[in-house]
Structure 1
Amino acid sequence: MPAPCASVASAAAVPVPVRPGLAILVLALLLSLQPVTTDLYLPALPALTRSLGASMADAQLTLSALLLAFGCSQMFWGPLSDRFGRRPILLVGLGAYTLASLGSAFAPAMDLLILWRSAQGAAMGAVVVCARAIVRDLYDPLEGARAMSRAFTGLGIVACACAPLGGLLSAWLGWRAALLALTVYAALTLALVVLHLPETLAQRNPQALRPATLLGTWLQVLRSPTFWAFSLLTMATYGGLFTFLAASSFVYIDVLGLTRTQYGWVMASAGVAYFGGTFLCRRLLVHHGLLRTVAIAGGLSLGGGALLVLFAWLGWQRPWVLVLPYYLFMLGHGIHQPCGQSGALGPFPRAAGVASALNGCLMMLAAFAIGGWLGRRLDGTVWPLVNGIGFWSLVLALVSWTLVQRFGDPARAPA
């Protein structure tokens, strides 16, 4: 793997002494906190809903409220990490997440569970913002996409294990055990950061929190067509993923009749496809560069969504028949996310925290809207899941083939 390069935040900045292997391991664990938080408890979601006597709409809030808090909090954490550095914000975020995880595991009612899950989301925002900003601290955009794909390979391994583990824990020990496992993961990650991760930001920005500076930085990022092209890409690919996360447990367990353990293996198999996408991403980047790699992934995404709609329309509504096309979507997702997140931050070496926060906020606002839509549309059929993924696959293809190709290279983007 290419060695990390110094942040270009300052011409006089000295390369941060982070070993390449350690950097990828820590990034993988930090970025994996998001799928661990969402995927591990999904097999337990129907049982959790029944246990707390809640409605399906309330159950959706345990996921969508978490992601709304996650997205909005990034607007706060991003500038803080530019001002004070990545390490202190990571420590605060991981510590708060660990406490909120304990609260979630022992919540006696649905409203308190939603509250604790929202606190988890807010703390998770600090972790993921800093992880993405660390990539920009250490790498240029193309190398950042490769490094991010390696970290997402680790994320894929974790994601593959989450749903089966969540299914086993909830089946053997109850749904609270699945939530308690989040506490263990966060505590172990916190220990690794405390012991082994140095500060990666070569030069802190003492002006980062001043209102005029902050407003100017936000406007600088939001005026960038490159930022918007890649952020819409990440928003669309996460929209398809979140549609599956929010609807699949009800569709596959309650509609298609799988057990929680069987559903866990469906989730794991989708994680394997995503895992493969991160490997494919690195090979495509070497041979085709960033923009063409995104275009190829757009074809994979559209193919997966179109086949899913076609199979459902033909009446082939069986669990494994409907998950097969989704593997194509997840293969594309394994390419879109590292390329999109690295590309969105690429033009902003001195404001990576703010750019990361805005990019993440857009993804989570889309997820919150999808959660609200699904809460009203889940009707005991497969169609909310199928139509949602089909829609986002079409959006992905359009963004990949138009906006990213036109604006994805900042040197060629029109002013």
Structure 2
Amino acid sequence: MSPTTILWLISGSLMLQPLSTDLYLASLPHLATDFGVTPAAVQQTLSLFVIGFGVAQLISGPLSDRFGRRPVLLGGQGLYIAASIACALAPTLSLLVAMRFVQAIGCCTAVVVARALVRDAYAPADGARMLAKASSLLALAPLIGPVLGSYLQVGFGWRAAFVFHALFCFVLLGTTWWLLRETNALPNPQATRIGPLLSTYCRIASADFFWAWMLPGALSYAAIFVFISGSSFVLIDVLGVPTEYYGYCFAFGVSGYLAGTIVCRRLLARLGLARTLSVGVSLSLFSGLLFAAVALAGVHHWWVVLLCQFLTMGAHGINFPCAQSGAVAPFPREAGAAAGLLGFFTMLAALLTGTWVGVSHDGTIKPLALTSATLGVMLFASAWAMRRQRLASA
């Protein structure tokens, strides 16, 4: 496969995740109204997705190490299509939440195989650059997705978002079937055996250089998940932004992510993997503290949310390509397992964050701002504490 083919296949697979979470964000307040439940209950459609996404990576990663990237990726895409159709037809919130869990299993399989595929084909620094390029294309999904989702909600209701999920993945499935060639040259027959699998996970999780990359990456994703899970309630219900305009607000924030991925590619060439991550975590800290300071000063306006979302997502565009490549690179034979473990901890951080955002919502922007600041401090502190391990492994 050519680098261009790999780039587009990786980008399409990674796009499933932001499309799955961002496309229906404008529908969250309307789901609460339609089903007659609280915002915290509606948050379960995100929380169960995150749980399914995180846990399934511990399985789909080793499956791709054992049976190859291609069959596992195709199977995950097929499951995603079926679950998306079931979400669109769900008559109750409970069934919708259950099908979101299944949808997450298919989605995570695509993402973890894409990360492992990069490790198959590239050295660490080259892999980070490829992931940064893919992230630039990936940014199209959260840029366009919320805008499209807002109009789908206004025109057709919340079910339309899940119909779009199914159609997008159907096209991706056909493209994968046609273009993807197997990249796992040395399948590991022991990869899915319980004993060796647990041993592999313990060995990866006990490596301090894995944590040196994984922890900042997971906390960086948690920082943007503050906005993914809470911005629609704050902007639409608290600050009075019309539903049809919410997508543009979210897209502005995501444009920061796109800018961050571009900056990441330039910084990698000049500073290398470890020091590029240091730049990103510093920006995360600044963004979180700025949000808290402005909110506590009594400035409650939509532009405050948008500005801080732009900066936080820009930092994530720098942080996450570095974290993904750095965490997986030391494990060439267990790239799927390492990618799966990275994804598990990332989704665990997002789950805790999303749950807290739903519970702490009090009709103002202060809980969102304080949560953002707390994660910014945690992210910077974790990166600073483990800087020597990253420098040694980069």
TM-score (norm 1): 0.93
> Once the 2 structures are TM-superposed, how far is the Cα of residue 173 of structure 1 from its aligned partner?
1.2
Given candidates 318, 322, 325, the residue that maps to 2:301 is 318
Provide, for residues 214-245 of structure 1, a one-character-per-residue CA deviation record: whole Å limited to 9, x for no partner: 12211210111111111101110011111111
Given candidates 295, 302, 307, the residue that maps to 2:290 is 307
Residue in structure 2 matched with residue 351 of structure 1 by the alignment: 334
Residue in structure 1 matched with residue 53 of structure 2 by the alignment: 70
Identity, % of aligned positions? 40
> Once the 2 structures are TM-superposed, how far is the Cα of residue 325 of structure 1 from its aligned partner?
2.5
What is the alpha-carbon distance in structure 2 between the residues aligned to residue 203 and residue 246 of structure 1? 40
Higher alpha-carbon deviation: 34-43 or 370-379? 370-379
What is the alpha-carbon distance in structure 1 between the residues aligned to residue 246 and residue 3 of structure 2? 36
Q: Hey, which bits of structure 1, 4+ residues long, moved more than 4 A?
A: none
Residue in structure 2 matched with residue 285 of structure 1 by the alignment: 268
Contact 1:79 1:208 in 2 (8 A): yes
The alignment's C-alpha RMSD in Å is 1.2
Higher alpha-carbon deviation: 99-108 or 300-309? 300-309
> Once the 2 structures are TM-superposed, how far is the Cα of residue 110 of structure 1 from its aligned partner?
0.3
Residue in structure 2 matched with residue 407 of structure 1 by the alignment: 389
Provide, for residues 260-310 of structure 1, a one-character-per-residue CA deviation record: whole Å limited to 9, x for no partner: 121111110111110000000000000111111111111211111111111
Given candidates 38, 44, 54, the residue that maps to 1:61 is 44
Given candidates 151, 156, 159, the residue that maps to 2:134 is 151
Alignment of 1:244-263 (within 5 A): 244-263=227-246
Amino acid at match of 2:15: S
Residue in structure 1 matched with residue 13 of structure 2 by the alignment: 30
Higher alpha-carbon deviation: 388-397 or 94-103? 388-397
> Once the 2 structures are TM-superposed, how far is the Cα of residue 362 of structure 1 from its aligned partner?
0.4
> Once the 2 structures are TM-superposed, how far is the Cα of residue 156 of structure 1 from its aligned partner?
0.6
Residue in structure 2 matched with residue 206 of structure 1 by the alignment: 189
Given candidates 69, 82, 86, the residue that maps to 1:86 is 69
Unaligned runs of 5+ in 2: none
Unaligned runs of 5+ in 1: 1-17
Provide, for residues 84-118 of structure 1, a one-character-per-residue CA deviation record: whole Å limited to 9, x for no partner: 00100001100000000000011011000001101
Residue in structure 2 matched with residue 12 of structure 1 by the alignment: none
Contact 1:227 1:344 in 2 (8 A): yes
CA distance 1:410–1:349, change in 2 (3 Å): farther
What is the alpha-carbon distance in structure 2 between the residues aligned to residue 181 and residue 303 of structure 1? 36
> Once the 2 structures are TM-superposed, how far is the Cα of residue 411 of structure 1 from its aligned partner?
4.7
What is the alpha-carbon distance in structure 1 between the residues aligned to residue 140 and residue 393 of structure 2? 35
Given candidates 197, 204, 217, the residue that maps to 1:221 is 204
Contact 2:14 2:138 in 1 (8 A): yes
Alignment of 1:140-219 (within 5 A): 140-219=123-202
What is the alpha-carbon distance in structure 2 between the residues aligned to residue 106 and residue 235 of structure 1? 33
1:135 is aligned to 2:135: no
What is the alpha-carbon distance in structure 2 between the residues aligned to residue 374 and residue 293 of structure 1? 29
What is the alpha-carbon distance in structure 2 between the residues aligned to residue 313 and residue 204 of structure 1? 54
> Once the 2 structures are TM-superposed, how far is the Cα of residue 410 of structure 1 from its aligned partner?
4.5
What is the alpha-carbon distance in structure 2 between the residues aligned to residue 132 and residue 71 of structure 1? 14
1:107 is aligned to 2:90: yes
> Once the 2 structures are TM-superposed, how far is the Cα of residue 49 of structure 1 from its aligned partner?
1.6
Residue in structure 2 matched with residue 275 of structure 1 by the alignment: 258
Amino acid at match of 1:408: R
Provide, for residues 317-350 of structure 1, a one-character-per-residue CA deviation record: whole Å limited to 9, x for no partner: 1101332122221111001010001100011000
Residue in structure 2 matched with residue 9 of structure 1 by the alignment: none
Contact 2:54 2:344 in 1 (8 A): yes
Residue in structure 2 matched with residue 384 of structure 1 by the alignment: 367
Contact 1:312 1:322 in 2 (8 A): no
